């Protein structure tokens, strides 16, 4: 089993199940001791902002704020540079612990030895 997991989530509320699956897998991996890097891209970019995860609802799914908190506590959360710029989100806007980085960093993380990458 890889010791590192890189997850890119591209979906937001418009594709709630796919979005929730990405956060759920990331949180379960963190809880299992896996090194996790969750990338927020596309419509999931908004979840880097305070309070936005609380607006997400999906029946029979764990609350997104709880999942995000557990990922931030034990893993890394990154907001895509271009996605942030398109939404006029800056480093001062995001939740504590969220970094903004670009494709070069994503590729570097995804290609590291012992890493599994998933895209939702």
- Residues 88-111 have pLDDT tens digits of 999 999 999 999 999 999 999 999
Number of domains in the chain: 1
Task: For residue 3, name the pLDDT band (cuts at 50, 70, 90).
Answer: confident
For residue 38, what are the domain limits? Answer: 4-119
What was the pLDDT predicted at 2? 59
What was the pLDDT predicted at 1? 57
- Identify whether the C-beta of residue 98 lies closer than 8 Å to the C-beta of residue 79: yes
Interval 31-44 mean pLDDT: 97
CATH number at residue 106: 3.40.1260.10
**Is pLDDT at 86 greater than 70 in this prediction?**
yes
Give residues with Cβ within 8 angstroms of 13, minimum separation 6: 19, 43, 55, 56
If phi > 0 it is left, if psi is from -120 to 50 it is alpha, else beta; for residue 42 that is: left
């Amino acid at each position: 089993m890889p010791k590192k997991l890189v997850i890119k989530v591209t979906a937001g509320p418009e594709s709630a199940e796919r979005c929730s699956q990405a956060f759920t897998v990331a949180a379960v991996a963190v809880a299992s001791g896996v090194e996790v890097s969750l990338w927020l891209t596309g419509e999931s970019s908004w979840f880097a902002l305070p309070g936005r995860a609380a607006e997400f609802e999906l029946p029979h799914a764990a609350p997104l704020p709880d999942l995000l908190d557990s990922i931030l506590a034990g893993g890394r959360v990154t907001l895509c540079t271009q996605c942030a710029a398109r939404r006029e989100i800056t480093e001062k806007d995001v939740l504590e612990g969220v970094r903004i980085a670009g494709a070069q960093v994503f590729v570097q993380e995804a290609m590291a030895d012992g890493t599994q990458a998933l895209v939702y």
